[in-house]
Amino acid sequence: MNKINYSDYLRRFSVPLMFVIICAVCAPISGLSPSYLCNEIVTRMGRNAFLILSLLIPIMAGMGLNFSMTLGAMAGEIGLILVSDWQIVGIPGMILAMIVSVPISALLGLFCGKVLNMAKGREMITSYIISFFINGIYQLIVLYLMGPVIPIKHSNIKLPRGYGIRNTVSLLSMRQKLDNLIPLNIGGVKIPVATFIIIFLLCLVIIWFRKTKLGQDMRAVGQDMGVARDSGIDVERTRIISMVLSTVFAGIGMIIYLQNMGNIATYSSHSQIGMFCIAALLVGGASVEKASIGNVFLGIILFHTMFIVAPKAGTVITGDSMIGEYFRVFVSYAVITVALIMYETNKRKNKSKAGEQLALAQEEANE
Amino acid sequence: MTEKTNTITLSDRVKDIAKDFGLPRLIITGFLVLLLVVSPFVGADLPTQISNIINRFSWNGILVLAMVPMVHSGCGLNFGLPLGIISGLLGATLSIELGFSGAFSFLMAILLATPFALVFGCIYGWLLNKIKGGEMMIATYVGFSSVSLMCMMWLLLPYHSPNMVWGMAGKGLRTTISLEGYYTQALAKILQINIGNLSIPTGSILFFALLAFGMWAFLHTKTGTAMTAVGSNPEFARSSGVNVDKIRLISVVMSTWLAAIGILVYEQGFGFIQLYMAPFYMALPAVSAILIGGASVNKASVMNVIIGTILFQGIVTMTPTVMNNMIHLDMSEVIRIIVSNGMILYALTRKTEETK
């Protein structure tokens, strides 16, 4: 019995363990100082945690990894673009951007939830394609409609041709304003206290949300849609709400992310964000059907350590800087692939186990 | 009274046809017809446009054809197409590395790509048999992982041909490799027809026709029928003595091999080999093309491939020119993204046995 538990644990933590080994091997080779590493990880924790936390709710509702969190990211970017055109700076600008982004995210989340309700059983691939589809609409709006339809006054964010937004929009006026709101420096490591407070609040909200009626409903839907429906839960509505919440949080998370970066890459900031956030969450030991807040933070530490040290270590070992770059992209994709494969094989195993149990029960009944 | 019932039946009939054909497909066909009608008036040369469409059809047709076997066996749309494309790229680069040239290098590329496609296809098929029900998502990520793994390999593998490696370092393959002197236009030049501005790459089209006919014939053999049976009802197929896993494996290997051949044909038309991140998103246009042609997640025919490729490539080639001439605004890229992904989304949300 003990042995089974042991191997079970080993499998559950195999991905984090593998990453600990990768990091432990690559970190000394890369030659980066520990204080630099600490600094980077703390910065990245502040930058990414909110975004990754937004993934937890759809997992709870049994909708798998929300590849369409990109939708929220796009809404956040639209908010920031508009606010930087209105020239509202600093924290008020950020708050206004969040206010602008929330209705857009909510609408997109609603759309996404409705579409996913039509594609039950293949939510992940559908949410993945939705992110591409909405990316097209986003480009249509930002590249062609901003200017002639949506008024953009300032030419420094417009393309030279007179409409559409430049490839990069500078957020100098609100760069790291939130991070530096409450300055704190421990042993040369800069800690973005205000950002961490917001992240902590979101964690509390998620913990509280799990205990509410709606949160319980969501978990019931995640366990078994049929049973949930029989017990009087509006399954479709619950699923839509989980998508709306996730998208809204992702939008706010993107604004926090971009205030740390200090500029928006208008057409590419959001495209990779979903993939990296999902990979980080999975590295932290989460699976497609189960993820906790602890997974988020462990994931950020391990994944981003790998992210920082891999290119350097790659350069030192092979003498080619591109190898490390490609390596970390490969690892991100490979982690997601392995997690998906494990999820599907487990699902099948459980199904056959349930079948066996049913057969046993029937045999017993016959006897 | 009679008039009223008549109009109802007529509109019903129109609705029925529209339903059969699918509304998005109808819109896309209408859009393409509109583009073709408008193009002479806005100053675009129609014969050039048509030969563009035919050309691009001949480049992409086989990549779209590669979707058919996996859809038939119930593995869904092959988002893992990049895996097959990588086999093709390995064949292409090896053929050049080994010093073959001219049209012969095309034949060698196919021969060299085949073992890779078979091995990769077997592993991929074995994996997909382990995870029945979640094929499409995992296929996507198998494609992505293999492309990013090969990004490292293109740098590390010991290629030396001066036409392919970076000039300064003397190692590591370039991102784009010209096929000048190798197999550029190898198929297209065979029996090429030129009438004014209209040029038809007969060889490529014949090659596509050969493979498409092969596919059609295969689907009517015993194995092919078994494949369709496995796709439409695996339980029934199993009870009638079909080895479901084996049939699925065959379909995946076929799809991977066709993708390898498809990318080689694409390259001979395009004139360049594109490495590194280029194969990354190549599955999406192929997937949406076959869907536009009338296929669904679990049903596809050779006819869907032909119609879909013509419609999809037609829109891709026509929109930039017509739009540019009309309003001096190139929105083609955005339209392409919305149309192709919208089409995939439409297909994924159709009700099937699984999602009911």
ipTM for the predicted complex: 0.81
B345 CA to chain A: closest CA distance, Å? 6
Q: Output the average pLDDT for chain B.
A: 83
pLDDT of A286 reads 84
Under 8 Å between Cβ of A185 and A35: no
pLDDT of A174 reads 81
pLDDT of B42 reads 77
- Distance of alpha carbon B33 from alpha carbon B30, whole angstroms: 5
Reference B136, options B78, B180, B84; nearest CA is: B78
Determine which helix (DSSP H) or strand (DSSP E) holds B307, and give its type and residue range. helix B302-327
* Chosen from A344, A347, A349, A350 to mutate, greatest number of chain B CBs within 10 A: A344
The tens digit of pLDDT for each residue in A267-315 reads 888 888 888 898 888 888 888 888 889 889 998 998 888 888 888 888 8
Number of structural domains, chain A? Answer: 1
Interface of A with B in 290-349 (CB under 8 A): 318, 320, 322-323, 326-327, 329-330, 333-334, 336-337, 340-341, 343-345, 347-348
Q: Which residue has the higher pLDDT, A251 or B15?
A: A251
Report helix, strand or coil for B233: coil
- Distance of alpha carbon B179 from alpha carbon B186, whole angstroms: 10
B352 CA to chain A: closest CA distance, Å? 9
Q: How far is CA B30 from CA B27, B147, B200, in A?
A: 5, 36, 25
The whole domain housing A185 covers: 2-366
The tens digit of pLDDT for each residue in B197-223 reads 778 888 888 889 999 999 999 988 988
Closest B-chain CA to A116: B349
B49 pLDDT higher than 90: no
Say if residue A154 is exposed, middle or buried (CB neighbours under 10 Å; 0-12, 13-18, 19+).
exposed
pLDDT of B1 reads 42
Determine which helix (DSSP H) or strand (DSSP E) holds B176, and give its type and residue range. strand B176-178
CATH code of A21's domain: 1.10.3470
Taking CB atoms and an 8 Å limit, are B338 and A345 in contact across chains? no
A8 pLDDT higher than 80: no
Tokens read off for A98: 């969040």
pLDDT of A266 reads 85
Task: Give the up-direction half-sphere exposure of residue A321: CA atoms within 13 A in the CB hemisphere.
Answer: 1
Taking CB atoms and an 8 Å limit, are A337 and B134 in contact across chains? no
The tens digit of pLDDT for each residue in B19-30 reads 666 677 788 888
- Residue A324's pLDDT band (cuts 50, 70, 90): confident
A248 CA to chain B: closest CA distance, Å? 22
pLDDT of A34 reads 83
- Distance of alpha carbon A145 from alpha carbon A78, whole angstroms: 12
Residue position matching structure tokens 């998005």: B24
Any A CB within 8 A of B30 CB: no
Closest B-chain CA to A142: B334
The tens digit of pLDDT for each residue in A174-190 reads 888 787 888 788 777 88
B96 pLDDT higher than 80: yes
Which residues from A are below 8 Å from B132, CB to CB? 348
Taking CB atoms and an 8 Å limit, are B141 and A327 in contact across chains? no
- Residue B119's pLDDT band (cuts 50, 70, 90): very high
* Chosen from B127, B280, B348 to mutate, greatest number of chain A CBs within 10 A: B348
Closest B-chain CA to A64: B137
pLDDT of B328 reads 67
The one-character DSSP state at B329 is: -
Interface of B with A in 122-161 (CB under 8 A): 127, 130-134, 136-138, 140-142, 144-145, 148-149, 151-152, 155-156
Q: Rounded mean pLDDT of A148-177?
A: 82
The DSSP bridge pattern shows strands A263-265 and B272-274 to be unpaired
- Residue B355's pLDDT band (cuts 50, 70, 90): very low
Q: Rounded mean pLDDT of A157-175?
A: 82
- Distance of alpha carbon B132 from alpha carbon B129, whole angstroms: 6
A355 pLDDT higher than 80: no
pLDDT of A5 reads 65
pLDDT of A319 reads 74
The tens digit of pLDDT for each residue in B54-91 reads 888 888 989 999 989 988 888 888 888 999 999 999 99
pLDDT of A367 reads 65
Q: Rounded mean pLDDT of B342-355?
A: 71
Taking CB atoms and an 8 Å limit, are A341 and B138 in contact across chains? yes
pLDDT of B2 reads 46
Tokens read off for B75: 């593995």
- Distance of alpha carbon B40 from alpha carbon A46, whole angstroms: 57
Q: Output the average pLDDT for chain A.
A: 85
Determine which helix (DSSP H) or strand (DSSP E) holds B195, and give its type and residue range. strand B193-195
The tens digit of pLDDT for each residue in B268-302 reads 888 888 888 888 888 888 988 888 888 877 788 88
The tens digit of pLDDT for each residue in A181-232 reads 887 887 778 888 888 999 999 999 999 998 999 999 888 888 888 888 888 8
What is the DSSP track for B113-149? HHHHHHHHHHHHHHHHHHTTT-HHHHHHHHHHHHHHH
Give the phi and the psi of residue A181 in degrees, each rounded to 5. Answer: -60, -45
pLDDT of B6 reads 53
By Cβ distance, the residue of B142, B341, B349 closest to A119 is B349
pLDDT of A339 reads 79
Which residues from A are below 8 Å from B145, CB to CB? 330, 333-334, 337
The distance of Cα B257 from the centroid of its chain, to the nearest Å, equals 12
